[in-house]
Amino acid sequence: MIYSQLQQELDNYMDKKVEFTSYYPNMNIFISNLYKDQLQEVLKGLDETTSGSAKSFKLYLDTVIINMQSKIKKYKQSIYFKNENIRDIENQGYLIPFFIDETKECYVILGLIKQEF
C-alpha cells in the first residue's frame, strides 16, 4: 500500500502532474502532497500525546532535511525502490524516502513512514 502511494508521488513529479512546493522558499528541496498529509497526521498524534512534542519533532525534522544535501552519501538506497537516486532518511522512528533529481539538481521528499520494528 505505502509503496504504491510513494510510487504515485514519484510519478506525479516525473510527469509534472502536480506542483511540488519548496520545503523552504528558495531551496532545492521539494515536498509531495503525501509527505505534507503524513506529517500533519504525525504532528497531530504527537500533540495529543505529549504537549510540545510535535513542535520538538518538527524542529528536529527540519534540521535533518535542511542539512540532507551535505550528508547525501550517508543515506542508504530506499527499501521501497530499486533505484540509487531514491534514498531513505531514518529519523526518530520514521523513514523519509526522497528522490535525487540530478538533472534539475534538486531533492523531492516523497513521504514520511513510521518504521515497523
- Rounded distance between C-alpha atoms, residue 92 and residue 34, angstroms: 19
Read off the pTM.
0.91
- Tell me how far CA of residue 43 lies from CA of 4, 12, 17, 54, 70, in angstroms: 23, 25, 27, 5, 26
Domains annotated for the chain, with CATH where assigned, are 2-11+31-114 (3.30.2310.20)
Pair type for strands 106-109 and 113-114? unpaired
Contact status, residue 87 vs residue 100, Cβ threshold 8 Å: yes
pLDDT in tens, 47-97: 877 777 899 999 999 999 999 989 998 999 999 999 999 999 999 999 999
Give percent of the chain above pLDDT 70: 99
- Rounded distance between C-alpha atoms, residue 86 and residue 76, angstroms: 9
Please give the pLDDT value at position 107: 96
Q: Please give the grid coordinates belonging to residue 18.
A: 502536480
Closest by CA to 65, choosing from 39, 40, 102, is 39
- Rounded distance between C-alpha atoms, residue 37 and residue 39, angstroms: 5
